[in-house]
Structure 1
Amino acid sequence: MSKFKYTETEQQFNNVLNHQSKGLSSIKRPDMASAETCISESEALLKELGISTENLPKVVNPTPKSVMVVPTWEELCNQAEQEVSSTTDLEFLFTDEELRMNQAALRALNADYNNIHKLDKIDITICAAAGILGTIIDILLIGIPQKTPEGLKGGPLSNYVRDWFNQRFPEEEMEKLANSKVSKVPYDAQDNRHTKEYVDGLSAYYHRLLSLGHDPFLGLIFGVYDILTGKMTTIDKTGKIVSQVMENYADRKESDIFVAIAKQIIHFKSDITTSMGLPAPLMGLFNLLQFGSIGEEEQTIAEIVQGMYYEGYDFIHFCSMSIPTMIIEVIIRLGYGIKRIKEGNSIKNSIPFSLNREKHPKLSTMLFIGHLAATAVNAGKVYFTKNPMAINYPQWVAFAKYSYKQLKWVLLEKPELRDAYIRGIIAEELNEVYGEIDKSFAKMSEEYIVVFN
């Protein structure tokens, strides 16, 4: 029994090939050895007599053309099924040696495809250099934020970023903006005095972490929704989701969606440099993770994240931590592009923006390895310091993104694309064979009257 499953058309091909193979093997070809010997002896005799064989006249005996009837495909299939079998296996038509050669050819094609995506020493060096540099910047220049009498302080680069935000959004101006009507939103309650349903943990310290309207990403959805509906949507410290109408803040409600979006952005601006600023993107969702027993105090994941926010793990620190991650991206993409150009590719085809593996077969894997290296070091940093503030959130997000892409590539995309690659090469070779067949048939049919059924 064959190990392959054939479609109906493939099975028909197998049957016809089997039938024609047997037909060819049944043809008795005359032994031309004696005829060739006679011709050689005749040529030698003519040469001895001084007669040249180069300009001998050609004798052409005109013969009437025979009729060649070409059957239809259906007729061929029916004839094949009647005379051989309707269940011919393709491997039955090859000898053991031919089957071994076929397998070797397929292995070679598989190896060729794998080599296209295989990283060489230079590729790995680029990945390692990017990951190491990103890690050094994270450890030495970003650091861990700490509360000081002068405010939150971290590494030199982290302090520079925070100072830039403070200069760009001065405290006095932001305080005036926060007190103006254009920035007032219904979800900005700082305690439970005006809530109908109690929100556990709602306070001046945590209200921005608990209210989804303050999330830099989710706020563009939930914040705008709350402004349009006069509500406040929160996930409290115990993981409970609460959405309630804020009647005391009814005057902060807007009916125009564009005005609501503008107010949302203005409110972001007014809060960004406050002492308990905007949380890192999606940080509020961690309040849902009410499980775990971490550290000596056996805290849940939600409690760990709440403590991180309290200690200064905010949106500005998130921006600072994004710098090493972006540097890894830039170094790998730039190194990949330069290497491609040196390999002879055009500048247009070497621009490393797209992660399409058909255009840039190695880029996505290189980014995965670079972020894997940086994430592994960051995990070690967190483990040895026992400090969750050392977690590089953007780096873990990037690692998760490229891990998903790499896993999808290895398990789903690569086998399919490799199969398409091999089938494409086989199809090209088969088209060449078909071309030769057409030429041979055209030459042979010159001597026949061809009739197609």
Structure 2
Amino acid sequence: MPKKRIIDFSEELNDMQTSISDLSSTMERLDNNAEEQSDLLKELERRLSDIDPSFIAEPAKFSEHPFKVYSSQYFLEQSEEIEERITQEVHSNFQLLPPMTKLDYIVATIIGAIAALVDILLVKIPKDVTYLGKYTQEGGSLTTWLRTLGVNEDGKLNGFLSNLEKNSKVSFDASTKNAFTEYDREVSGFSPKTHRFMSLGHDPLFGLLFGVLDIVNGRISLIDSKGAIHLIPIEKYQNPTFENMIFAPFLWISHILSDVCTKMGVPAPGWGLTQLLQFGEFGEKDRTVADLARYMYLEGYDLRHFISMGTVPGIVELCTRIYYKLTLEKSDPFTLTYSKDLKEIHNKIRLQKLLFTAHTTATGGNALKIVMNQGNPLAFNYPQLIAFTKQSIQMSVISTRDKTTEKIIRNREQINREWGNNYI
């Protein structure tokens, strides 16, 4: 099947070829006649010279090159050349991923570096620890301050949260195996310190779903330290009241609020799912990813520290967007609609590239922080990794987007510029 051409000149070129070929044939005949006349004149000049040697004739000027006859092959080659140039121009991706300026790269990198410094100097780790028994490492001041909220000087919940705790008892808050003595499966690693970490109802991200289901069914849903999933009925909550079933979402919210400010707090969003990651061999004890995640929670890696760590990607997002707004070019009100749309697309892509550059720098800074802390996993910035992953996916989507409309607009503008250059 012949390749479909973008612009087909076949009919026009055939007509032109016929006309030019006829003209070339006529001019070739005239050229032959001119050569015959030239030979005749030269013969006359020779005879005149024989009669009168003093006769010197001015040399006749005739074309030394015959008229060029344009063949079918000539037009075929010209058509293919034009087709190739048009195809290359139409399908080129020039500026479809608009470049950043040197200033953009510098500012985005500086923003990422500032965020990394905040991570290293302010966020630090959840609390003071002696890592591996020999490295004394200081906890972050922001997390330390957050731990003072909602509690009195004795570390007990204040009056408001204490009342919430008393009035929001739920089935998924069972903290020891004594709550389900008749359950015949082994629940590994379950204890008062880990029950919120393992209980899916305590997760701030999707705990509302599991928490409501647990309240309605009088059970606790959890993932133990070996990655086993358990749905355990709690005898005390087997007959939930109608009010508790109707107001289960509000009961869940009240219970989570009362738990946030406790000593162990509630886990970071999605952190409980790490118990499914039963692989890897890290450190001297060959811990799995699940083991490391559980260790981190027990050392204070909870929702409060998650909020503290969130300041790092927050700084990146805020500062980058401010810079973007300050450097955004104002659109000309008289610009055509399609040009405005293309400009808007390119501006959005530029913003995403700025964010990607800044988040990459901040993530690199967190890697440096982990090294500076002798590989302590508590130095890992979970929110920053989420932000970097999200931005990486966004850049992949941008790079693989359908660019047809943008190419059409770009080509239309290129045609307009060429016409302007040639006829102005």
Query: 1:368·1:402 contact (CA, 8 Å) conserved in 2?
Result: yes
Q: Secondary structure at the match of 1:199?
A: coil
Query: 2:316·2:359 contact (CA, 8 Å) conserved in 1?
Result: yes
Match in the other structure for 2:318? 330
Q: Which runs of 5+ in 2 are unaligned?
A: 28-74, 130-136, 333-343, 419-424
Query: 1:237·1:302 contact (CA, 8 Å) conserved in 2?
Result: yes
Alignment-mate amino acid for residue 304 of structure 1 = L
Q: Secondary structure at the match of 1:244?
A: strand
Match in the other structure for 2:393? 404
Q: Which residue among 165, 168, 173 is the counterpart of 2:159?
A: 173
1:293 aligns with 2:274: no
Query: 1:227·1:253 contact (CA, 8 Å) conserved in 2?
Result: no
Match in the other structure for 1:110? 93
1:380 aligns with 2:368: yes
Q: Which residue among 19, 23, 26 is the counterpart of 1:27?
A: 19
Q: Deviations over 1:165-203 (max 9, x none)?
A: 547x971326633552x3100111111112224422221
Counterpart-to-counterpart distance in 2, 1:165 and 1:363: 39
- For residues 153 and 207 of structure 1, do their structure 2 counterparts lie closer, same or farther at Cα, with a shift above 3 Å needed? farther
Q: Secondary structure at the match of 2:93?
A: helix
TM value normalised by structure 2: 0.72
Counterpart-to-counterpart distance in 1, 2:247 and 2:311: 33
Counterpart-to-counterpart distance in 2, 1:254 and 1:370: 51
Counterpart-to-counterpart distance in 1, 2:240 and 2:363: 43
Question: Which protein is bigger by CA-based radius of gyration?
Answer: 2
Match in the other structure for 1:391? 380
Instruction: Give the number of equivalent residue pairs.
Output: 346
- For residues 377 and 129 of structure 1, do their structure 2 counterparts lie closer, same or farther at Cα, with a shift above 3 Å needed? same
Structure 1 residue 27: deviation in Å? Answer: 2.7
Residue range with higher mean Cα deviation, 241-250 or 157-166: 157-166
- Superposed, 1:223-302 pairs within 5 Å as 223-250=211-238, 258-302=246-290
Structure 1 residue 161: deviation in Å? Answer: 3.0
Counterpart-to-counterpart distance in 2, 1:321 and 1:429: 48
Query: 1:147·1:312 contact (CA, 8 Å) conserved in 2?
Result: no
Counterpart-to-counterpart distance in 1, 2:345 and 2:148: 41
Structure 1 residue 358: deviation in Å? Answer: 4.6
Query: 2:124·2:138 contact (CA, 8 Å) conserved in 1?
Result: no
Counterpart-to-counterpart distance in 2, 1:429 and 1:303: 59
- For residues 166 and 399 of structure 1, do their structure 2 counterparts lie closer, same or farther at Cα, with a shift above 3 Å needed? farther
Structure 1 residue 101: deviation in Å? Answer: 4.8
- For residues 106 and 163 of structure 1, do their structure 2 counterparts lie closer, same or farther at Cα, with a shift above 3 Å needed? same
- For residues 383 and 299 of structure 1, do their structure 2 counterparts lie closer, same or farther at Cα, with a shift above 3 Å needed? same
Match in the other structure for 2:40? none
Q: Which residue among 85, 109, 121 is the counterpart of 2:102?
A: 121
Alignment-mate amino acid for residue 237 of structure 2 = Y
- For residues 132 and 104 of structure 1, do their structure 2 counterparts lie closer, same or farther at Cα, with a shift above 3 Å needed? same
Counterpart-to-counterpart distance in 1, 2:173 and 2:138: 27
Counterpart-to-counterpart distance in 2, 1:175 and 1:22: 89
1:161 aligns with 2:146: yes
Alignment-mate amino acid for residue 309 of structure 1 = Y
Match in the other structure for 2:175? 190
Match in the other structure for 2:121? 140
Match in the other structure for 1:43? none
Q: Deviations over 1:253-290 (max 9, x none)?
A: 65665500000000001101111110111000000001
Counterpart-to-counterpart distance in 2, 1:267 and 1:308: 23
Q: Which residue among 296, 306, 314 is the counterpart of 1:308?
A: 296
1:368 aligns with 2:349: no
TM value normalised by structure 1: 0.68
Structure 1 residue 23: deviation in Å? Answer: 1.9
Q: Secondary structure at the match of 1:193?
A: helix
Counterpart-to-counterpart distance in 1, 2:406 and 2:141: 50
- For residues 243 and 146 of structure 1, do their structure 2 counterparts lie closer, same or farther at Cα, with a shift above 3 Å needed? same
Query: 2:171·2:219 contact (CA, 8 Å) conserved in 1?
Result: yes
Match in the other structure for 1:444? none
Query: 1:292·1:300 contact (CA, 8 Å) conserved in 2?
Result: yes
- Superposed, 1:6-155 pairs within 5 Å as 6=4, 14=8, 17-27=9-19, 92=76, 94-95=78-79, 98=82, 101-102=85-86, 105-106=89-90, 110-114=93-97, 117-146=98-127, 154-155=139-140
- For residues 300 and 265 of structure 1, do their structure 2 counterparts lie closer, same or farther at Cα, with a shift above 3 Å needed? same
Alignment-mate amino acid for residue 384 of structure 2 = Q
Alignment-mate amino acid for residue 125 of structure 1 = I
Counterpart-to-counterpart distance in 1, 2:241 and 2:262: 23
Structure 1 residue 20: deviation in Å? Answer: 3.4
Structure 1 residue 320: deviation in Å? Answer: 0.7
